[in-house]
């Protein structure tokens, strides 16, 4: 029995080829993203071990994120460096967000990370950074740049260089006294910029006082192990500090970074999951058709005494072999994809990572086989059961497959759809941390439900489409072929539906956002110009602009009002992570026309706040209540003094300006400017831009340019989603090709017949083409309909939460999708139609 089924497998290898390709693609996508994540992780781990190469022990604050983190004094450092076994000691003075400006264009240098450090005349005693030319900074107005920084800023020795220092809240000009590189001749560690200040100056800039260090690194004398030195240093540690060996520090740093790649891998894996889900439809169809075509052979086996269990096992064994084979190829493909993507990504980000081999972890291998096998087994299960139900008598007679009623199928579809829609609705009203899972589960159920219901829809919709598209006799025959097996047409179309639904949902939500923004811009809120902080990192007070710069803006002709908006996401309200603003409430009230719902919207003192009405309602807060607000590491009780009406532009907790002291930095992240009626908007924007030019990444625009910018951001997002769903769409395309090819094999004699009664080769091509286009357009219409529905549900939820104000359909996108489906159908038909047209008439008629 096993031998028979394996032999059968080999004979049908061509028919299974596309199923294998589908598995290869979805497994490849998944293993590719895992390999990419692992490889990047390993690259960065390599980077950290380079950084810590000569570090035997590192001493850092136990709680570096505290509002007032512990600092090492010069005396601490001196004492620790006298510990027996310490060969070198280096105190660390460093900061992020220090950004040089280009000397040619005057614009801020855009790098992933802008590092700064303090060095004395000895330079880096641990040998990571090496001076290449010039001298280490000896005065407060001198800096040394890493070679990469010098290249990006177009600076050289002696250049006057403007550098933005977040702690100062402004840019300062320094003289470049030298250029440095990294051990091994590297210009940067990973594409970052590095500006090195004179030590005392750096201490004053970053820590407000000289003679203190954030941490320290120690090199060991020969013969002293890292662990041994750590023990000795621990005895001398000041309170609030911990010691780690160089190895431990490297691990900790790369693990922290690994977590951020983890999210990246999860997002890619989610899209890989969609691809695998679509693959199930293709494989299901393949096995279903093969089982139908083999029903006589299966019946013969049954007549010879094979039990139904044996038949099921035989089909599932085939699936196992196909799945295992596909998973193996997919893993190989994924490794190649991972390597390629890593190279591409490093190139795109301009990150010059230490090279090393590709990392294929056990997880990549494991997941490849789990997904490859499970997907195939799930897909083959129903066809296997069907195969087992072929009665032995079917071997003796011509198999007649009457049209089965779609009632049972449709009821099952409803049984999936209704709870699925319920789960989506539940998720959208928000039920806490499980929301994403509930949503995903609901959407999957909705997909299955619609897929099961789609055979019912296939007849009327395809008939209507056929009436539009199926011109001529060849076209008519194509329409009939698409209609003859609604289940097959529907399952094939459903695979395409999934991708189209997700894209349409994204496009619908994006379009609604865009038109909500246009609405807001259209309404005259009183704000005419917006100043937006850089998108180089999460707002926390360390990036943005000095609010004092707004004083200059206010002096510009035509400017009536300005408001600085401080934002941090390193915050929590009553224990829940939150996005917190700090601003002058009366100004905001005036400019944004805030409506008072409860309490008072007045100038806030320390530990006073206002919240929006949605928040107040959800948490049952009223004016006068006290709420715990955490900012960074601080945690204080705030009194709610007022409640305002939430709008899409203005929402969330707003604290008074005194709260900014607890932010990581004192920079404002957004600024709003009101103008007189008739003021020169464009001219003022240019002047504000000029004032803001010292702040890296800060952009200025009027409301319409702001809207345009937001729209573009949404377009980019929708495009990114579409590209990531490309694999799922590709598998759906393969699915159509697959169904057409298998149908053509099944209808070989019919093809011979229509050729014998005079249909030309072109006619056969048209016939297959029309069937293909009908399947593709039907799938697209299902997807567009479902996607608009899901999108509307999302938008409604977002409107309820006041994140947007109106629902809008992305008509242009929808038209493009339907147009693309037409092309998709034609492309899918190319190969099958060629095969059908090339059939020898006589052989086709004689085909058994």
Partner 1 sequence: MSAAARAVDVWKVYGSGEAQVIALRGVNLEVERGKFTAIMGPSGSGKSTLMHCLAGLDSVTRGEVAVGDTRVTGLSDAGLTRLRREKVGFIFQQFNLLPTLTAEENITLPLAISGRKPDKAWYDTVIQTVGLGDRLGHRPSQLSGGQQQRVACARALVSRPEVIFADEPTGNLDSRSGADILGFLRRSVSEFGQTIVMVTHDANAASYADRVIFLADGRIVDEIENPTAEAVLDKIKSLDTLAVSEDRVEVAE
Give the binding site for partner 1 (CB under 8 A): 400, 402, 472-474, 476-477, 480-481, 483-484, 749-750, 753-761, 763, 841-842, 845-846
Could you give the CA distance from residue 246 to residue 222 in angstroms, rounded to a whole number?
15
Nearer to partner 1, 161 or 836 (CB): 836
- CB of 369: closest distance to partner 1 in angstroms? 42
Nearer to partner 1, 472 or 522 (CB): 472
Nearer to partner 1, 411 or 846 (CB): 846
- Strand-pair category, 215-220 with 86-92: antiparallel
SS3 content of the chain, % helix, strand, coil (to 5): 55, 15, 25
- CB of 755: closest distance to partner 1 in angstroms? 8
- CB of 842: closest distance to partner 1 in angstroms? 4
Nearer to partner 1, 401 or 637 (CB): 401
Could you tell me if 443 and 790 are in contact, meaning their C-beta atoms sit under 8 angstroms apart? Answer: yes
Could you give the CA distance from residue 766 to residue 478 in angstroms, rounded to a whole number?
8
Candidates 455, 323, 364; CA nearest to 32 is: 364
Could you tell me if 817 and 532 are in contact, meaning their C-beta atoms sit under 8 angstroms apart? Answer: no
Could you tell me if 700 and 689 are in contact, meaning their C-beta atoms sit under 8 angstroms apart? Answer: yes
Q: Give the distance, in angstroms, between the CA of residue 634 and the centroid of all CA atoms in the same chain.
A: 31
Could you tell me if 451 and 752 are in contact, meaning their C-beta atoms sit under 8 angstroms apart? Answer: no
- CB of 844: closest distance to partner 1 in angstroms? 10
- CB of 29: closest distance to partner 1 in angstroms? 38
DSSP 219: E
Element holding 529 (H helix, E strand): strand 529-532
Nearer to partner 1, 402 or 432 (CB): 402
Nearer to partner 1, 668 or 754 (CB): 754
Could you give the CA distance from residue 307 to residue 445 in angstroms, rounded to a whole number?
34
Nearer to partner 1, 404 or 554 (CB): 404
- CB of 11: closest distance to partner 1 in angstroms? 22
Output the CA–CA distances (angstroms, integers) from residue 695 to 107, 531, 690, in the order listed: 9, 11, 10
- CB of 782: closest distance to partner 1 in angstroms? 23
Output the CA–CA distances (angstroms, integers) from residue 25 to 361, 368, 676, in the order listed: 19, 11, 59
Could you give the CA distance from residue 747 to residue 484 in angstroms, rounded to a whole number?
12
Provide the Cα torsion 645, 646, 648, 652; round to 10°. 140
- CB of 474: closest distance to partner 1 in angstroms? 8
- CB of 415: closest distance to partner 1 in angstroms? 31
The residue to which tokens 């970052």 are assigned? 192
For residue 69, give both structure tokens. 């983190």
Nearer to partner 1, 564 or 759 (CB): 759
- CB of 771: closest distance to partner 1 in angstroms? 11
Could you tell me if 352 and 375 are in contact, meaning their C-beta atoms sit under 8 angstroms apart? Answer: no
- Could you tell me which residues come within 8 angstroms of residue 115 by beta carbon, excluding any fewer than 6 positions away? 94, 95, 96, 98, 192, 193, 194, 195
Nearer to partner 1, 225 or 760 (CB): 760
- CB of 759: closest distance to partner 1 in angstroms? 5
Nearer to partner 1, 357 or 758 (CB): 758
Nearer to partner 1, 161 or 754 (CB): 754
In angstroms, how far is the first alpha carbon of the chain from the final one? 24
Element holding 61 (H helix, E strand): strand 57-61
Nearer to partner 1, 149 or 485 (CB): 485
Could you tell me if 70 and 56 are in contact, meaning their C-beta atoms sit under 8 angstroms apart? Answer: no
- CB of 457: closest distance to partner 1 in angstroms? 19
- Strand-pair category, 114-119 with 193-198: parallel
Nearer to partner 1, 185 or 402 (CB): 402
- Could you tell me which residues come within 8 angstroms of residue 713 by beta carbon, excluding any fewer than 6 positions away? none
For residue 756, give both structure tokens. 């014998």
- CB of 710: closest distance to partner 1 in angstroms? 52
- Overall residue count recorded for the chain in this entry: 848
Could you give the CA distance from residue 569 to residue 543 in angstroms, rounded to a whole number?
12
For residue 410, give both structure tokens. 């449709």
- CB of 738: closest distance to partner 1 in angstroms? 21
Could you tell me if 590 and 671 are in contact, meaning their C-beta atoms sit under 8 angstroms apart? Answer: no
């Amino acid at each position: 029995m096993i031998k028979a089924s394996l032999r059968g497998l080999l004979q049908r290898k061509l028919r299974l080829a596309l199923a294998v390709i589908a598995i290869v693609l979805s497994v490849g996508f998944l293993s590719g993203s895992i390999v990419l994540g692992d490889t990047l992780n390993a690259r960065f781990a390599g980077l950290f071990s380079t950084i810590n190469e000569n570090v035997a022990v590192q001493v850092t604050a136990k709680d570096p994120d505290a509002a007032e983190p512990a600092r090492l004094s010069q005396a601490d450092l001196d004492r620790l460096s006298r510990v027996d076994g310490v060969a070198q000691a280096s105190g660390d003075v460093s900061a992020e967000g220090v950004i040089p400006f280009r000397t040619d264009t005057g614009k801020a240098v855009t790098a992933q990370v802008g590092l700064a450090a303090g060095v004395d005349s000895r330079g880096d005693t641990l040998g990571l950074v090496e001076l290449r030319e010039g001298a280490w900074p000896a005065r407060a107005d001198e800096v040394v740049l890493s070679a990469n920084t010098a290249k990006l800023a177009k600076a050289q020795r002696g250049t006057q260089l403007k550098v933005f220092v977040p702690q100062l809240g402004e840019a300062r000009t320094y003289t470049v006294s030298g250029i440095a590189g990294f051990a091994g001749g590297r210009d940067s560690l990973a594409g970052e910029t590095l500006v090195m200040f004179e030590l005392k100056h750096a201490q004053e800039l970053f820590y407000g006082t000289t003679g203190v260090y954030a941490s320290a690194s120690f090199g060991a004398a020969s013969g002293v192990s890292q662990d041994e030195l750590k023990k000795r240093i621990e005895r001398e540690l000041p309170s609030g500090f911990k010691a780690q060996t160089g190895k431990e520090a490297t691990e900790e740093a790369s693990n922290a970074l690994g977590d951020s790649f983890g999210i990246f891998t999860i997002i890619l894996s989610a899209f890989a999951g969609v691809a695998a889900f679509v693959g199930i439809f293709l494989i299901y169809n393949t096995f279903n058709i093969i089982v139908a075509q083999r029903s006589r052979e299966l019946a013969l086996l049954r007549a010879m005494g094979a039990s139904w269990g044996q038949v099921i096992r035989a089909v599932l064994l085939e699936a196992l072999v196909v799945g295992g084979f596909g998973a193996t190829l997919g893993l190989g493909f994924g490794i190649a994809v991972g390597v390629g993507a890593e190279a591409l990504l490093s190139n795109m980000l301009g990150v010059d990572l230490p090279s090393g081999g590709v990392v294929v972890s056990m997880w990549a291998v494991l997941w490849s086989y789990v997904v490859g096998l499970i997907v195939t087994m799930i897909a083959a299960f129903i066809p296997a059961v069907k195969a087992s139900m072929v009665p032995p008598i079917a071997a003796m007679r011509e198999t007649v497959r009457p049209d089965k009623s779609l009632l049972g199928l449709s009821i099952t579809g409803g049984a999936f759809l209704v709870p699925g829609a319920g789960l989506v609705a539940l998720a959208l009203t928000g039920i806490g941390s499980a929301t994403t899972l509930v949503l995903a589960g609901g959407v999957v159920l909705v997909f299955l439900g619609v897929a099961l219901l789609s055979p019912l829809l296939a007849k009327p919709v395809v008939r209507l489409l056929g009436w539009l598209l199926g011109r001529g006799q060849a076209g008519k025959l194509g329409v009939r072929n698409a209609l003859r097996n609604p289940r097959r047409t529907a399952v094939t179309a459903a695979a395409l539906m999934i991708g189209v639904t997700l894209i349409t949902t994204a496009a619908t939500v994006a379009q609604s956002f865009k038109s909500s923004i246009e609405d807001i811009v259209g309404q005259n809120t009183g704000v005419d110009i917006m100043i937006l902080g850089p998108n180089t990192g999460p707002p926390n007070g360390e990036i943005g602009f000095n609010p004092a710069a707004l004083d200059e803006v206010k002096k510009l002709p035509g400017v009536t009002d300005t408001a600085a908006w401080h934002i941090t996401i390193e915050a929590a309200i009553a224990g829940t992570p939150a996005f917190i603003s700090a601003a002058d409430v009366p100004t905001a009230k005036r400019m944004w026309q805030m409506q008072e719902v409860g309490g008072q919207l007045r100038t806030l003192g320390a530990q006073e706040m206002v919240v929006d009405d949605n928040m107040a309602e959800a948490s049952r807060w009223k004016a006068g209540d006290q709420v715990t607000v955490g900012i960074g590491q601080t945690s204080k009780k705030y009194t709610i003094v007022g409640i305002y009406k939430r709008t899409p532009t203005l929402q969330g907790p707003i604290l008074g300006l005194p709260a900014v002291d607890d932010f990581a930095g004192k920079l404002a992240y957004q600024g709003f400017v009101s103008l007189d009626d008739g003021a020169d908007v464009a001219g003022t924007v240019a002047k504000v831009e000029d004032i803001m030019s010292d702040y890296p990444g800060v952009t200025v625009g009027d409301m319409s340019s702001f809207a345009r910018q937001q729209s573009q951001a949404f377009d980019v997002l929708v495009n990114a989603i579409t590209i990531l769903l490309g694999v799922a769409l590709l598998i759906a395309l393969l699915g159509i090709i697959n169904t057409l090819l298998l149908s053509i094999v099944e209808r070989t004699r019919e093809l011979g017949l229509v050729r014998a009664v005079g249909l030309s080769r072109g006619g056969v091509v048209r016939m297959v083409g029309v069937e293909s286009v009908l399947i593709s357009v039907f799938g697209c219409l299902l997807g567009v309909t479902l996607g608009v529905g899901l999108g509307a549900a999302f938008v409604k939820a977002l409107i309820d939460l006041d994140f947007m104000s109106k629902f809008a359909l992305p008509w242009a996108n929808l038209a493009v999708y339907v147009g693309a489906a037409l092309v998709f159908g034609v492309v899918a038909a190319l190969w099958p139609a060629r095969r059908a047209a090339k059939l020898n008439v006589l052989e086709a008629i004689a085909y058994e």
